[in-house]
């Protein structure tokens, strides 16, 4: 796990625990912790998607309630040598689930210095994707296209 991901997850976890404790006090509750890594690859690319979050279920005044938070991080890795990317001018990557889509575009004025492309992170409250579903990744670079699937590495 990268240092950035660890710090990101730690801050999100602390914030969620504090907010949940303030809002819920000592009410009867169930917390499901999610910490998953999805991986997959194609001929030229390897994709990684990290998902960390919690779902909380509780009863308040006889009413069943639920809440959640999540942080996620995406990246792709070129499976060749960085010298093979010397003519790279445009990179577009889409991560797609059954309920969400994340698209990132980058334009390069100079050749990349690394084969790792951090595509950003996100998070928030709301429902999780179906945690067992694969994630489709589409990579377009300088007119070439590859599509592949990411699967949870613990299934």
* DSSP letter string, 100-118: -EEEEEEE-SS--S-SEEE
Q: Which of 70, 12, 55, 48 is nearest to 135 (CA)?
A: 48
First vs last C-alpha separation in the chain: 19
Is the distance from CB of 51 to CB of 39 less than 8 angstroms?
A: no
54: number of CA atoms within 13 Å, CB side? 16
Residue with tokens 């009863």: 59
- 85-98 tens-digit pLDDT: 999 999 999 999 88
Q: Which residue has the higher pLDDT, 155 or 50?
A: 50
Most distant CA pair in the chain: distance in Å? Answer: 63
pLDDT at 130: 75
28 pLDDT tier (thresholds 50, 70, 90): confident
DSSP H helical ranges for 1-154:
3-24
pLDDT at 49: 94
70 pLDDT tier (thresholds 50, 70, 90): confident
Lowest average pLDDT, out of 31-35, 78-82, 144-148, goes to 31-35
Distance of CA 103 to the CA centre of its chain: 12
The domain locations on the chain are 3-152
pLDDT at 41 over 90: yes
Show the tokens assigned to 124: 């928030």
Mean pLDDT across the chain? 85
């Amino acid at each position: 796990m990268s240092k950035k991901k660890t710090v990101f997850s730690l801050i999100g976890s602390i914030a969620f625990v504090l907010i949940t404790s303030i809002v819920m006090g000592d009410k009867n509750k169930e917390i499901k912790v999610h910490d998953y890594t999805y991986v997959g690859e194609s001929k030229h690319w390897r994709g990684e998607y990290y998902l960390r979050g919690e779902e909380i279920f509780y009863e308040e005044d006889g009413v069943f309630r639920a809440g959640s938070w999540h942080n996620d991080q995406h990246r792709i890795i070129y499976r060749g040598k960085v010298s093979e990317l010397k003519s790279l001018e445009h990179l577009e990557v889409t991560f797609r689930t059954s309920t969400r889509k994340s698209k990132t575009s980058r334009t390069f004025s100079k050749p990349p210095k690394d084969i790792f492309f951090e595509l950003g992170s996100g998070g928030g409250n709301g429902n999780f994707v179906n945690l067992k579903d694969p994630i489709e990744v589409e990579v377009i670079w300088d007119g070439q296209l590859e599509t592949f699937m990411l699967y949870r590495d613990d299934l």
